[in-house]
Amino acid sequence: FANVFIAIVGAGVLGLPYAFKRTGWLMGLLTLFSVAALINHCMMLLVHIRRKLGVSNIASFGDLGFAVCGNVGRFVVDVLIILSQAGFCVGYLIFIGNTLANLFNSTDTTTLSLSLSLRHLMGVSPKSLYIWGCFPFQLGLNSIKTLTHLAPLSIFADVVDLGAMAVVIVEDVKITMQQRPQVVAFGGM
């Protein structure tokens, strides 16, 4: 439960206020509920297909692809899952790199000169260094075969995620009360 919760309620939920700001409240709600309905429909289709096939040894999405379309189905499903998970990993690495770069990017002359010297010597930005610094840890986490070993960390991540959401909600309410930003129904896609 903890792993599923942190996967669904991750950094994407923290970005919802920005998404609603860009799309407008009505378009944001329409998009959010449309995607939720589509995801629910797809989950129900997976359950329906498994029951209709009557095969009890389906333990993964790849097995389901094999039961429906043979080896080609397994291959396509496994490749799409790998691409999806790799996309999530890249998205999180970029999120972490941006956050660390914004956190440690200061007007302090020592930090600024270090940043400029790194850019001059190595040709990379500090954001890139943060991303590449996180990469070995990401590979280590990806090598864990069963998620049950991550349960204590997932529960900790759930608590931190809920705390971060509370901070975002409180800050959004404060900004709304102080500045009363213009609320639009359709801000674009």
Beta carbons within 8 Å of 31's beta carbon, 6+ residues apart: 23
Instruction: Give, for all 189 residues of the chain, the pLDDT tens digit.
Output: 666 666 666 666 767 777 888 888 888 899 989 988 998 998 898 888 888 887 777 888 888 888 888 899 999 999 999 998 888 778 878 888 888 887 776 555 555 555 556 565 667 777 888 888 888 887 887 788 887 777 788 788 778 878 887 887 888 788 878 887 676 667 666
Give the integer Cα–Cα distance in Å for 31 and 23. Answer: 9
Measured CA angle at 18 (ends 15, 21), to 5 deg:
150
DSSP E strand boundaries for the chain? none
At position 28, the amino acid (one-letter code) is G
CB neighbour class for 88 (10 Å; exposed up to 12, middle 13-18, buried from 19): middle
How confident is the model at residue 142, as a pLDDT?
76
Give the integer Cα–Cα distance in Å for 60 and 124. Answer: 40
> Cα(first)–Cα(last) distance of the chain, in Å?
33
Give the integer Cα–Cα distance in Å for 65 and 73. Answer: 4
Measured CA angle at 107 (ends 106, 113), to 5 deg:
90
SS3 label, residue 78: helix
pTM, rounded to two decimals: 0.61
Instruction: Please state, as a whole number, how many other Cβ atoms lie within 10 Å of the Cβ of residue 119.
Output: 14
